[in-house]
Structure 1
């Protein structure tokens, strides 16, 4: 039986960091041939691993510890004024958790999102093969939170349901509705789902102090960070 104690890990060759300019990154990957299940994935999340497609990984960069795993303890979370406004503004959306996103309307939304918001990123140009390999999982834990406005699909949050929490894998939305702050609303919705499911945390991936794209994570308070082998609440983010 696979446990995290007997998993083999492999390191990538050093490569350009996707988040910090002029930095070189190295990533640890769990053996892709290992037998992964919900329990193992949950345990790996507790020590800072994330999922991308079928891969579980963790940064392991020489001389740099900028990527810090972050999670929200949902029972303690209190929305700030801006988040309350966001929730009220989007109260007209219809939310539903579904099991797959194979229909054309989901890919069309994803394609539009990448083409507008991430033309300079690793996922451009989008393709159906990349879409499925990145956003789906074979371990029976992945669900999709769809958001609709008067029947029209406007956002999808990819969620992994773990033993110890909910992992916010990725969110894509209609870039023409930027004024609704759908990314923020997706996190608020996932906090609610975690609470209703009796889960303790929403895992947000890595927080990086000097990466502007990661700054939104510090607005969800309190926020726990995984440093030196322990999770603890961060009092400040200087």
Structure 2
């Protein structure tokens, strides 16, 4: 018997588990599979509605008693670098950028392990082995690139970003870098360089994943001008990050799952051709 995939994506909810960003809170995610010939359209549409990609899954937070996690993106046209960000560009200007197909290498994994062991030893990815790492990089049903930054003199790999190319921007799915160069602000530099890539390509946004006001791990995203957050079904400009303090996000602002799913705008599977 031949089985076919359902026409409309099916949405599911994960079981609650401890939040990795805010102590004492529980997280829950709404997710759907990213597969089939409509994967590219679905990823574009849901990314614009606050979802993120992890391999062949799209997800966004759907916590029952917290709404602190906000999907964030940078409006490239509104971005203006600060003095410290300009210094980061200058310090790392010698690095050689190379964009490749999503293929994992031993050198990437070694850098990834050093990064995790130094910066996120107690995080959810701390036990990721080389096979799981390869799956994270390579299992993508959409247009993805691995953007590497290397020292041209030594050939050493310094930083890596797994980046998706969307209709309206670049989505930095996951980034890691040499943890022994904190003075070079490599994480900031990669975002700044992606802003330049997007500007050159005529793409309006850089999707950064989730910004969590009140979480030291995620606070760096608020340092970029032109930042927008997806709040209550729309993108809002963040002129004052303090107004988005997590303590002000009322628990009841999280709608029931059925209502959330009903309000998701799905792409037209048969778009009209011009």
Q: Normalising by structure 2, report the TM-score.
A: 0.82
Q: Which residue of 2 aligns with 1:202?
A: 206
Alpha carbons 1:115, 1:125 under 8 Å: kept: no
Match of 1:94 among 81, 93, 96: 96
- Structure 1: unaligned runs, 5 residues or longer: none
CA RMSD of aligned residues (A): 1.9
The correspondence of residues 1-238 of structure 1 with structure 2, limited to 5 A, is 6-31=8-33, 36-149=38-151, 150=153, 151-238=155-242
Aligned in 2, Cα 1:31/1:96: closer, same or farther, shift over 3 Å?
A: closer
* Unmatched segments (≥5 aa) in structure 2: 243-274
Checking the alignment, whether the CA contact within 8 Å between 2:109 and 2:130 is kept in structure 1 is: yes
Q: Distance in 2 between matches of 1:17 and 1:175?
A: 24
Alpha-carbon distance change, 193 to 137 in structure 1, aligned in 2, over 3 angstroms: farther
Distance between the aligned counterparts of 1:139 and 1:157, measured in 2?
Answer: 17
Cα distance in 1 between the residues matched to 2:220 and 2:67: 19
Match of 2:262 in 1: none
Instruction: Summarize the Cα distance change of 1:2–1:84 in structure 2 as closer, same or farther, 3 Å threshold.
Output: farther
- How far apart are the structure 1 equivalents of 2:134 and 2:239? 38
| Secondary structure of residue in 2 paired with 1:212 | coil
CA contact (8 A) 1:156 1:172 kept: yes
Q: Larger radius of gyration, structure 1 or 2?
A: 2
Aligned residues: 237
Normalised to the residue count of structure 1, the TM-score between the two structures is 0.93
Q: Point out the more displaced range, 61-70 or 99-108.
A: 99-108
TM superposition outliers: structure 1 runs of 4+ over 4 Å = 32-36
Tell me, what secondary structure is at the counterpart of 1:143?
strand
Moved more, 205-214 or 92-101: 92-101
